[in-house]
Amino acid sequence: MTVQTPTPFRASPSPPEQVSFDRLELGQILGLYGRMVAAGEWRDYALSFLRDMAVFSVFRRAAEFPIYRIEKHPRLRSRQGMYSVIGMDGQVLKRGHELPVVLRVLERKLIRPVDD
């Protein structure tokens, strides 16, 4: 009779050391950013990848506080949604499970009426 030793339980892989935007998410954010730069609304951006969240900050000028922050909190995925847009004053403008829906709060009419 052969005695087998039990296989030790393998824990799931350790959580990532930092949260980041994937290629699709970054493409959606940069698409909006490009349209807003072309319209003259935004001028600069910054990316921050932290342990519990990723942040895309938008600036009107390079040396001031961000006017908007697009944040990704994977920990909130099952609750109110992991994506949020935060205004300059810290107010949450939109939160949700799908990035394109959350980004709509930043869309403005980029075509301005022509004065006759």
**Residue 38: inside a domain:** yes
**Residue 64: inside a domain:** yes
pTM above 0.85, yes or no: no
Query: Taking a C-beta distance cutoff of 8 angstroms, is the pair 40, 74 a contact?
Result: no
Domain coverage including residue 86: 23-106
Overall domain count for the chain: 1
**Residue 74: inside a domain:** yes
User: How confident is the model over 14-63, as pLDDT tens digits?
Assistant: 655 788 888 999 999 999 999 999 988 888 999 999 899 999 999 987 66
Count helices and strands in the chain by DSSP H and E runs? 2, 5
Query: Taking a C-beta distance cutoff of 8 angstroms, is the pair 93, 105 a contact?
Result: yes
